[in-house]
Structures are given as C-alpha cells and as structure tokens.
Chains A and B, each alone.
Chain A
Amino acid sequence: MSAVLPLDDAAHDPGFWVRLWRGKPLGVAGAAVLALFLVCGVLADVISPYGFNEIAPADRLQAPGVAHWFGTDNLGRDVLSRCLYGAQLSVIIGCSAALLATLISALVGIASGYFGGKVDLAVQRVVDAWMSFPDLVVLIVVVSVLGPGMPQIIGTLGLLLGIGGSRIVRSAVVSVREHMYVHAAQSIGAAAPRILWRHVLPNVLAPIIVLLTTRVGTVILAESSLSFLGLGVPPPTPTWGAMLSGSGRTYMFEGPWLALAPGLCLTAVVYATNVFGDALRDLLDPRMRGGR
C-alpha cells in the first residue's frame, strides 16, 4: 500500500471478501468449515439419517460402515446423527452466548473507555475481581446453584466472556477517544450518545467483530467442557461434550469411534473459528495489515 490518503484508497479497495480470498487462504478454509457446520446445525432435522435418540439394541457398538458412517453407540444410536444434532445445539448456544458476550463487552468497554475517570476506575476494579475467577469454575458454581439448562448456560457464558472481553473494547476506545474527530464532535456540542454511536462505535467495530468470531469457538468449547462434566444441557439432548463422557466413556474401549467423532467435530469447529478470527483481525485491523 503506497502512501495515499484513505479517501483515495477506498476507491481501489477490492472489497473485504476479495481480500480475504486472495490473501488468507487458511481464513477462507476456516470460513468454509464454519459455513458447513452452520448448515449442518440448521438442517440437522432434515439431513440426519436417523433420530438422535433412536435406540436400536441390535445395532449396538457397530464400527463405522455403510449403514452408520460414524458407527453406533452403546444403545445402538447413530453417532453421525447425534453429531449433527450436537452441531445444532452448539450453533444455538455458540451464536447466542457469543452475541450476548459481545454486546456486553461493547457496552461496558465503550462506557468505561469513553467516560474514563472514576467510572473507568470503578468498572475496571470490578472487572479485575471478576476475571480472577476461572470461567469454568464460575460456570460450574452457577450451574450448581441454578441447575443445568440452556438459558443458564447461555446467560452465564455471555456475562462471563462479555465482562472479560470488555477490556479489549475499552483499550480500542481509549485510543479512539483522543482522535481529532472526536474532539471536533465534542466541541460543536454533540451529545455523548451521538458521539458514541456515530464516531466511536464505527471505529472500534473491527475488534468487536473479531471478538464475536473468536468467542463462538470459546463458547462451544466451554459448553462442551461443562457437558463433559455432566453439568451441561440434560440428556437425551446430544451434545458433543456429553457424547465424550458418562456411559460413553466406559464404552470407548470397545468402540473408540465414540470418542473420535465428537472430538474431531469440536476440534474442527474451534480450529475454524480461530483461523477465521485471525484472518479477520489481519484484514479489519489496519495496524495489522501488511505484516505483523
């Protein structure tokens, strides 16, 4: 990029998706995996060969084959179907908790960063105290108090990750706050909400979008950890974490595919959100553009 003004640059900008396609092949692959996973989750009811809780004792613990691509579990349930329904649950929890978390991060981060002073000091001390508790430990404690269930998990994860992520938004806001255009808006008497909405928010949107993307992976991983510990969405709803624990774990010696399929699904999705998030950050954050 030569030393042209950003105004000129906009005319030559080939567009976000073209830049992604040309410059970040791994990011494109990540986006493709995520899209595939999203489609699987949304269409799980249509494309699953069997029901997620269709018990067939005669077919129990069958190795992967033509009838059951990913094999069957100890109750004869089709592992592929359960993985697809697991994707559905992960999509629901992943997207809603990540959205909630990002919203909280943006609200807290922008308020704390823009107003500064005592507000900032107070908010940051609370964030400090909050962040000294491991996410998983807080989740376990909250679920033990409120009982397992999807709304509790989404709410807690959203709040947890949201408060942690507010630091990232705050640091972006602190630097934007000092820019000339913000001072200009302040000096012509624009109200704070207008400045925040029209001038600050658009300029901190890049880190917020990256935060949203990577949070999806974090949420899915946290939810599956919770399910693995037996504290997630109650059975028979299939979740990837739960498929790896409980009675499934005792049968893993007879049917190692029981452990492989959900684990690989999880790894693939989290890997995809990470590489896609990295590519987004490189492209959206001007400071990261063209090298690092």
Chain B
Amino acid sequence: MRGYVIRRVLALLPTLLLASMIVFVTVRLIPGDVIDLMLSQNDVAADKRSREQLIAVLGLDVPMWQQYGRWVSAIVLHGDLGKSLWQGTPVAEQLLARLPVTFELGAIALVVGLLIALPIGIYSAVRQDTGGDYAARSFSILLLAVPSFWLGTMVVVFPSIWWGWSPPIEFTPFAESPGRNLQQMLLPGVVLGAALSAITMRLTRTMMLEVLRQDYIRTAWAKGLSERLVILRHALRNAMIPVVTLIGLQAPLLIGGAVIIEQIFVIPGMGLLLLEAVQQRDYPIITGVFLMVGVAVMLINLGVDLTYGLLDPKVRMR
C-alpha cells in the first residue's frame, strides 16, 4: 500500500510540471499594453510604480526559461507565490485564508449531491422503465440544464419577494459560530450540489442496471434475501466504483461552480478572490489561484484512486 501511494505521488510530478507550465505560459500571454493599463490603474494605488518596477514585480525582466525556473523554485523552496500587486500581501497567505471556505462549500455540495443522486439513481434502476424511472430521469436532465447561477439567483430573489427572507450577507467563519456559518453555507451548497447530482444520478442508474443483471445478484435473490439486502449490500457496493471515480472527475466542475456560487451569495472563498483579482488585474493572485486549483483537482483524484481499494478488494495496491 505504501509503495503504491509513493508511486502514485511520483506519477503526479510530470502532470504537475505540465500544469505549472500551462499556468506560467498563460500569464506570459499578457500583452505589453496591459502593463500600461495596469500602470494607469495603479495611479490610484498608494505606491506608484514605474514601468520597469512593474515588469520586475511580474518577473518579466529576464529570459523566459529563467523566469520559469525562478518562479518554480520560489514555490518549491519557500512556498512563495509572489505578492499581490495591490495589497502587497503574500499570495500564499491570501490563498490559505480563502481555501477552507471554498473547501467547506465544496464538501457540502458533494454531500448534498450524493444525497440527491444515490437514492433516486438506485430507485430509477430498480424500477426501470416505470413512470417513476422516467420522472427521475427527466428530473436529472432538468438539473443538468438549469444553470446554477440562475438557480442561485432565483433562490435569493423569490423567497425575499414572497416571505421577505434573504440569506445573510455578512460572512461568519465556521470556527467563530458553526451554527450561523452552516445557516449561511447550506443554501449555496444545495444549489451547487443540485448541478452535480444530475450526472451522478445517471451514472448510478446505469451501473446499478448493469450490476443487477449479474449472476451473483440472481444467486442472492435465489437465496431468498430481502430486497433491501440484495440492493444495498450486493448490488450497490459493486455499482459504486465508477461512481466514486466520477466524484473525482467532478472536482473541476465543483470548483468552477463555486466561483459563481460564491459571487451570488457573497462567500469569501477562492472563487471570489479570483474574480476580485481579475477585476484588478492582480496577476500574481490570478496565477496563484489558478495553480492552487489545478493542484487541488489532482490531489482529489489521487484520493479517489486510493479509496478504490476500500471499495473493491479486487484492486490490489502494490
């Protein structure tokens, strides 16, 4: 097991390297006139910078390969992602402050998504081609089609018109008051989770249908086991393996969706940080968030692969 984990982490390195190159090259696309634009915007900032200073801060004053080396070694050796062009605070510090918020939102969405998807997906498979199955499948496509930013807006607008209720705007950190924090995070989590549940629901149904046709399920029925046991113990566990993979594949969707949800519900997570940085053209923050998100997705997928072994004894981790 330990050897397997080490090998998997080592296998991540080339992907990580490529991902860092993608982030790096994207920022090198900044055309020169954007620097002028930033300079004109920077007039309002406390410390005026000259063009040369700004270029040096962005690290554009040395050859490309040197810039890349400098950038990567600062991250690897010191965890240094540079400083915000506007506030002058280290990017890593800001990211670490925002990460838990987005993580919490994502976790709630994931749980909500599974709570919606699994029961409906199982029901839909067990009662294949009945009215209930058709209703469940139409519902899942509907969830897939409703844009989460629209659903989020509706959830904010209509309760406030009908009952004068609106979600709290002032953000309370979880550590300060878990109750108030959850009260605030639950609704955004549900909206984000609804979008994710559609795909999970469809895959759960397909996998359950496949598993329910296996011989060992027929054996389980023949033994006279109850429906509950056959479905939950014999079928579901085997149907879950691809579903768990899907959760890993959904990580990018979850993080992308969080950007929008955080904007609607004014939640100070990574998404809102990214949007603020984009408005201010704060490139060190943009690259920081960009890189962090990529690394997070890779780690989530690694975690997913490691849980295989728990679900499926056939997958040996050597």
Contacts and interface: CB of A to CB of B under 8 A. Distances in A.
Given A129-B15, A134-B297, A249-B153, A266 B278 contact: no
Contact of B142 (A125, A135, A271): A271
A135 B160 CA distance: 32
A137 B256 contact: yes
Contact of A253 (B19, B145, B161, B277): B161
A133 B290 contact: yes
A134 B256 contact: yes
Indicate the size class of the contact surface on chain A: 35 or more
Given A252-B157, A270-B144, A225 B26 contact: no
B149 A244 contact: yes
B141 interface: yes
B260 A229 contact: yes
Interface string A246-263: 000100110010010011
Interface centre among A217, A225, A266 (most CB of B within 10 A): A225
Interface string A125-147: 11011111111111011111110
A259 B252 contact: no
Contacts of A31: none
B22 A134 contact: no
B144 A136 contact: no
A292 B22 CA distance: 39
A183 to B, nearest CB: 30
Given A129-B18, A267-B145, A256 B157 contact: yes
A263 B154 contact: yes
Interface stretch (B27-35, B79-87, B110-118, B221-229): B27-35
Interface in A17-33: 26
Interface residues of B, number: 51
B278 A259 contact: no
Interface string B267-310: 00000001101100100001001100111011001000000000
A217 B154 CA distance: 21
B157 to A, nearest CB: 5
Interface string B133-156: 000001001101111011001100
Interface centre among B26, B27, B145, B289 (most CB of A within 10 A): B145
Contact of B297 (A133, A145, A259, A270): A133
A292 B209 contact: yes
A244 B148 CA distance: 12
A268 B142 CA distance: 9
A137 B26 contact: no
Contacts of A146: 29
B286 A292 contact: no
A224 interface: yes
Contacts of B294: 129, 132-133
Contacts of B259: 134, 136-137, 140, 229
A252 B153 contact: yes
Contact of A225 (B19, B147, B255): B147
22 contacts: A125-B15, A132-B297, A132-B298, A133-B252, A137-B290, A140-B274, A141-B26, A145-B27, A225-B147, A228-B147, A228-B149, A241-B149, A245-B149, A252-B153, A253-B160, A259-B153, A262-B150, A263-B147, A267-B147, A268-B145, A275-B141, A278-B141
Interface of B: 14-16, 18-19, 21-22, 26-27, 29-30, 34, 138, 141-142, 144-147, 149-150, 153-154, 157-158, 160-161, 206, 209, 252-253, 255-257, 259-260, 263, 274-275, 277-278, 281, 286, 289-290, 293-295, 297-298, 301
